[in-house]
């Protein structure tokens, strides 16, 4: 079977979609799937593309010109549907927060995402949702049935693993951070609810803040000036950009608490990444986050600053509880695997190419 | 022989006059070059501003087109039975709100 696979975001910075594309590509390659990679940007040469995609033995294609019958199924995984493609289509809908939380998104992004979902639906795509919560949202918002949707979860990146204390300390030192941090990871955008997290952190006792600086590890974002200004006001708050996954893993490993009180997620990959690195997790009791975290995290109402503060305060004062959550988290993260995700995805490709669609999942 | 100092003086004065004339000419040329450079800079600035305005108009038109396309997609999806009526109305409203938002950008 020839599988068309969208790599337009696989060369992108370490955002969620880019990570999903790269990890899935790597795992599909390992289980022997034969892929044709589409959507490479014109300015990227073959050598660079091959190197950045991990030297995969697949056909490379620049742009979206897919010859008729060149592939048996195409997987769109970055909101775009190739215009000329008319064959069987698997469409990953990462989330519908552009509909449920429009104020958190930029206008062009909302137009782009809605256009992609509508075009995929019109093309008779089988939808892939990374969580049951996202599949439910597809049904609520667009009336897309469970028969048309298949849930396959993501998994923690395999290069993000707990590092030793000395290695973690070196990275903290490089960033000028003293003490085990309260860590938040992700794009600086309103949906991540960082303003409330900062308020909750600012409400902690001075002694706790001195021992546990707040660290926002990010690659940038939008509508984020308030967050940056707020951080400037707090002596023990840091905004930084890890250079690579090694530094990110060190930050996760060093964290006293990983805080992810997002307003809504389609999956919430950083929750699993933090767990894989042994960080105790505080996350939201909404959308996909309880589903991803299971019983291995402290869940809070993301609209309730006092509740976020209370959870941070409690965990920072109780090493025993942090250790308990960290152990549960490691176990939880280990139950997700990219190889298993790739197997399920390949199975979905086979069924969609054969015209049988997804079985209820 | 008595003519020599006079001739030397004449030649020196001529050279001085020529140098002065050259100096005046070169200053004028430098002034003209400066004026030309300033004029070119002003024209480039004006063109740059014009490009910004055109780009903005293009962005607005492109957004309008995309939002029109969204409304068409919703309509076609409903006609083809890919969206139920309630979802179609909700998405139409959403697209119209995007249009309002686009006007404010």
Q: Is the same domain home to A148 and A181?
A: no
Which residues of B fall below an 8 Å CB-CB distance to A? 63, 66-67, 69-70, 73-74, 76-77, 80, 82-84, 86-87, 90-91, 94-95, 97-98, 101-102, 105
User: Is a pLDDT exceeding 80 seen at residue A168?
Assistant: yes
Q: Are residues A135 and A171 in the same domain?
A: no
Q: Is A141 on the interface with B (CB under 8 A)?
A: yes
- pLDDT for A360 beyond 80: no
Q: Indicate if A76 and A175 belong to the same structural domain.
A: no
Under the banding of pLDDT at 50, 70 and 90, the label for residue A84 is confident
Residues in Cβ contact with B58 at an 8 Å cutoff, skipping those fewer than 6 apart: none
- What are B41-99's pLDDT values in tens digits? 898 989 999 998 988 888 889 999 999 999 999 999 999 999 999 999 999 999 999 99
The DSSP bridge partners found for residue A221 are: A188
Say yes or no: A171 and A302 in one domain.
Answer: yes
Across chain A, what does the average pLDDT equal? Answer: 93
Burial A272-288 (b: 16+ CB within 10 A, else e): bbbbbbbbbbbbbbbbb
Indicate whether A254 belongs to any domain: yes
Helices (H) and strands (E) in chain A, counts: 15, 13
Is A115–B102 a contact, with Cβ atoms under 8 angstroms apart? Answer: no
Minimum Cα–Cα distance from B105: chain A residue: A107
- A17 and A77 inside one domain: yes
Diameter of chain B by CA atoms?
117
pLDDT at A357: 57
Distance from CA of B103 to the nearest CA of A (A): 11
Count: domains in chain A? 2
Residues shown for chain B: 105
Q: What Rg, from alpha-carbon coordinates, does chain A have? A: 21
At B78 the pLDDT is 96
Chain A residues closer than 8 Å to B58 by CB: none
Q: Is A103 on the interface with B (CB under 8 A)?
A: no
Let me know: does A355 contact A307? Beta carbons within 8 Å: no
The CATH number for A241's domain is: 3.40.50.2000
Question: If residue A37 lies in a helix (H) or strand (E), which one and from where to where?
Answer: strand A35-40
pLDDT tens digits for range A280-335: 999 999 999 999 999 999 999 999 999 999 999 999 999 999 999 999 999 999 99
Q: How far apart are the first and last CA of chain B?
A: 89
Of the candidates A216, A219, A186, the one whose C-alpha atom is nearest the C-alpha of residue A201 is A216
Whether A116 and A36 share a structural domain:
yes
Domain ranges of chain B: 3-104
pLDDT digits (tens, 9 = 90+) for A105-154: 999 999 999 999 999 999 999 999 999 999 999 999 999 999 999 999 99
Report the distance separating Cα B56 and Cα B68, nearest Å. Answer: 18
% of chain A residues with pLDDT over 90: 77
Q: Residue A248 belongs to what domain range?
A: 165-334
> Is A360 within the bounds of a domain?
no
Question: In what side-by-side order are the strands of the sheet with A59-62?
Answer: A59-62, A35-40, A3-6, A73-76, A89-92, A126-129, A149-151
A114 near B CB under 8 A: yes
Q: Which residues of B touch A139 (CB under 8 A)?
A: none
Distance from CA of B46 to the nearest CA of A (A): 28
pLDDT at A76: 96
Q: Say which of A115, A121, A143 has its CB closest to residue B70.
A: A115
A320 and A260, same structural domain?
Answer: yes
Residues A91, A204 within the same domain: no
A40 and A114 housed in the same domain: yes
Asked if A122's CB is within 8 angstroms of B76's CB, the reply is yes
Asked if residue A13 has pLDDT above 80, the reply is: no
Residue B95 with chain A: CB contacts under 8 Å: 114
Task: Tell me the H-state helices in A123-237.
Answer: 132-142, 165-174, 194-202, 206-211, 225-233
Answer yes or no: is pLDDT of A4 > 90.
yes
Q: Region A189-198: what's the mean pLDDT?
A: 94
In this predicted structure, the answer to whether residue A12 has a pLDDT above a threshold of 80 is no
Q: Is residue A328 located within the same domain as residue A342?
A: no
């Amino acid at each position: 079977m020839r599988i068309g696979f969208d790599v337009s975001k696989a060369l992108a910075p370490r955002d969620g979609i880019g990570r999903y594309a790269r990890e899935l590509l790597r795992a599909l390659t390992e289980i022997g799937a034969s892929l044709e990679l589409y959507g490479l940007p014109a300015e990227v040469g073959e050598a660079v593309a091959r190197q950045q995609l991990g030297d995969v033995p697949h056909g490379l294609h620049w742009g979206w010109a897919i010859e008729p019958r060149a592939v048996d199924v195409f997987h769109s995984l970055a909101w775009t549907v190739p215009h000329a493609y008319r064959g069987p289509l698997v469409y990953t809908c990462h989330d519908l927060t552009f509909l449920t939380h429009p104020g958190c998104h930029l206008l062009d992004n909302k137009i782009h995402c809605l256009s992609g979902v509508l075009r995929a639906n019109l093309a008779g795509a089988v939808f892939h949702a990374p969580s049951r919560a996202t599949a439910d949202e597809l049904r609520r918002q667009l009336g897309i049935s469970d028969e048309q949707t298949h849930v396959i979860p993501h998994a923690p990146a395999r290069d993000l693993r707990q590092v030793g204390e000395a290695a973690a300390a070196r990275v903290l030192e490089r960033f000028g951070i003293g003490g085990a941090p309260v860590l938040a990871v992700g794009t600086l955008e309103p949906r991540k609810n960082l303003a409330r997290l900062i308020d909750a952190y600012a409400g902690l006792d001075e002694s706790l803040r001195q021992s546990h600086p707040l660290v926002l590890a990010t690659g940038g974002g939008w509508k984020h000036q308030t967050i940056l200004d707020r951080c400037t006001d707090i002596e023990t708050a840091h905004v930084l950009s890890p250079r690579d996954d090694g530094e990110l893993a060190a930050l996760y490993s060093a964290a006293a608490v990983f805080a992810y009180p997002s307003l809504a997620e389609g999956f919430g990959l950083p929750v699993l990444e933090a767990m894989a690195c042994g960080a105790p997790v505080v996350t939201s009791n909404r959308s996909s986050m309880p589903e991803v975290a299971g019983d291995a995290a402290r869940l809070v109402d993301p609209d309730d600053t006092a509740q976020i503060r209370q959870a941070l305060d409690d965990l920072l004062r109780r090493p025993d509880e942090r250790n308990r959550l960290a152990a549960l988290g490691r176990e939880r993260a280990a139950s997700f695997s990219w190889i298993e995700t790739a197997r399920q995805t390949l199975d979905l490709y086979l069924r969609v190419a054969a015209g049988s669609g997804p079985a209820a999942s | 022989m008595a003519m020599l100092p006079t001739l030397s003086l004449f030649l020196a004065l001529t050279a001085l006059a020529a140098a002065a004339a050259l100096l005046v000419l070169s200053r004028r040329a430098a002034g003209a070059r400066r004026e030309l450079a300033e004029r070119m800079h002003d024209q480039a600035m004006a063109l740059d501003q014009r490009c910004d305005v055109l780009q903005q108009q293009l962005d607005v038109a492109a957004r309008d087109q995309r939002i029109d396309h969204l409304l068409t997609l919703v309509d076609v999806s409903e006609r083809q039975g890919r969206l139920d009526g309630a979802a179609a109305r909700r998405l139409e409203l959403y697209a119209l709100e995007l249009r309002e938002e686009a006007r404010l950008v």
